[in-house]
C-alpha cells in the first residue's frame, strides 16, 4: 500500500464498487502492527496509511472514508492511573507521526481493548464486577480524583492521556475491538457464557446511555464488538475460538439481554442467498437499535 498506484487500484477494486449502497466509513491499514516485532512493518505503516488516504483524495472519497490502523493496548508503557497513561518509549518514533496524520485528516485512533485479559492474568486482584460493568466500588485516579467504575473506561482514558502527553488533544479514540470469550482453557479464568453475556450485554446498555468516559464525559464512546461468530478453526488457546455472539451454524451462544435472545440465523445447504440476507438483516437490526438508542 506504500505504492500510490497499488493503493488506488485496491480501493477501486474493493471499496469504490460498493459505494454508496454500502456504508463504508473507515479503512484500517494493518492490525496491531506496533504491538509486534517487525520493525520493517512498523516503518511502512504510516507511509501505507498516507498512500491509501492520498488515493481516497484522488478518487473523491476522502470525505466519507477515513484511514486509520488498529492498535493493541501493549503499545502503552503505563496505564495506571489512567491520567498517567503513556506510550512505550521505543514506539514513540512511530506513534508521534501517526498522531499527526490522524489530526491532519481527522481520523480516529483505534484501540483493541480487552478487560478480559487483565482479569485472566490476575483474577485474584482484578474484581470481576469491575471488568463486567457490574456494581462495584471501582477505583479513583489519584491525580485527577476521577472515579472509575469499570476497566474499559480506564483503558480508554489511559490512551487519551498518552495521546495528550504527545501533544495532541485533537484525536478521537475509538474501540475497534472488545469482547469476552464464552469458553476457554482451564488456565483462562472467567471465560464462561455467563460472563460473556454479562460483558457484552452490559456494554450494550452502557452504549445506550451515550455517555463518555470520566475524563471525556462529553465524547460518547464508539465501539465495535468482537465478534459476530465463533472462529471454530482459529489456532491458539480455546478462548480465541469463542468470542462470537453466534456459533458457526448461526445459533446464539448466549443471551446478552439484547431485546431478549439474539435472533437465530438459519443455515441450509440450498439457501446461501437467504443466509446472507439473514446476517444482513440482523446487522441492520443491530445498527438501527444502536442508532435509535442514541
Q: Which residues are known catalytic residues?
A: 32, 177
Set of cell numbers at residue 200:
457484552
Strands 26-31 and 109-112: unpaired
Query: Backbone phi, then psi, for 31, in 5-degree steps?
Result: -135, 120
Question: Residue 284 belongs to what H/E stretch?
Answer: helix 272-293
Question: Residue 155 belongs to what H/E stretch?
Answer: helix 151-165
Within the chain, strands assigned E span 26-31, 66-72, 76-78, 86-87, 109-112, 139-140, 147-148, 173-178, 223-225
Cα-atom radius of gyration of the chain, to the nearest Å?
A: 20
Is residue 170 helix, strand or coil?
A: coil
Contact 66, 105 (CB under 8 A): yes
Set of cell numbers at residue 268:
441450509
Residues contacting 66, CB < 8 A, separation 6+: 25, 26, 27, 105, 106, 107, 108
Contact 67, 29 (CB under 8 A): yes
67 torsion bin: left (phi>0), alpha (psi -120 to 50), beta (else): beta
Amino acid at each position: 500500500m506504500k505504492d500510490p498506484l497499488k493503493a488506488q487500484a485496491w480501493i477501486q477494486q474493493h471499496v469504490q464498487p460498493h459505494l454508496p449502497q454500502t456504508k463504508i466509513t473507515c479503512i484500517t491499514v494493518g492490525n496491531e502492527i506496533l504491538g509486534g516485532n517487525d520493525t520493517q512493518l512498523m516503518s511502512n505503516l504510516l507511509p501505507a496509511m498516507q498512500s491509501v488516504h492520498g488515493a481516497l483524495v484522488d478518487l473523491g472519497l476522502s470525505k466519507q472514508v477515513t484511514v486509520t490502523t488498529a492498535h493493541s493496548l501493549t503499545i502503552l508503557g503505563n496505564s495506571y492511573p489512567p491520567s498517567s497513561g503513556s506510550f512505550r518509549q521505543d514506539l514513540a518514533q512511530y506513534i508521534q507521526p501517526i498522531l499527526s496524520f490522524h489530526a491532519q485528516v481527522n481520523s480516529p485512533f483505534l484501540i483493541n481493548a480487552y478487560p478480559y485479559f487483565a482479569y485472566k492474568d490476575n483474577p485474584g486482584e482484578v474484581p470481576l464486577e469491575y471488568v463486567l460493568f457490574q456494581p462495584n466500588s471501582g477505583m479513583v485516579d489519584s491525580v485527577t480524583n476521577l472515579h472509575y467504575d469499570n476497566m474499559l473506561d480506564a483503558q480508554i482514558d489511559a490512551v487519551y492521556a498518552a495521546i495528550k502527553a504527545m501533544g495532541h488533544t485533537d484525536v478521537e479514540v475509538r474501540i475497534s475491538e472488545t469482547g469476552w470469550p464464552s469458553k476457554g482453557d482451564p488456565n483462562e479464568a472467567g471465560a464462561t457464557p455467563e460472563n460473556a453475556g454479562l460483558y457484552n450485554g452490559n456494554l450494550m446498555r452502557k452504549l445506550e446511555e451515550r455517555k463518555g468516559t470520566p475524563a471525556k464525559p462529553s465524547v460518547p464512546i464508539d465501539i465495535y464488538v468482537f465478534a459476530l461468530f465463533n472462529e471454530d478453526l482459529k489456532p491458539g488457546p480455546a478462548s480465541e475460538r469463542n468470542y462470537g455472539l453466534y456459533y458457526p451454524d448461526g445459533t446464539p451462544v448466549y443471551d446478552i439481554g439484547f431485546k431478549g435472545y439474539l435472533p437465530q440465523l438459519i443455515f441450509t445447504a440450498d439457501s446461501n442467498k437467504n443466509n446472507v440476507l439473514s446476517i444482513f438483516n440482523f446487522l441492520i437490526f443491530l445498527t438501527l437499535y444502536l442508532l435509535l438508542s442514541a
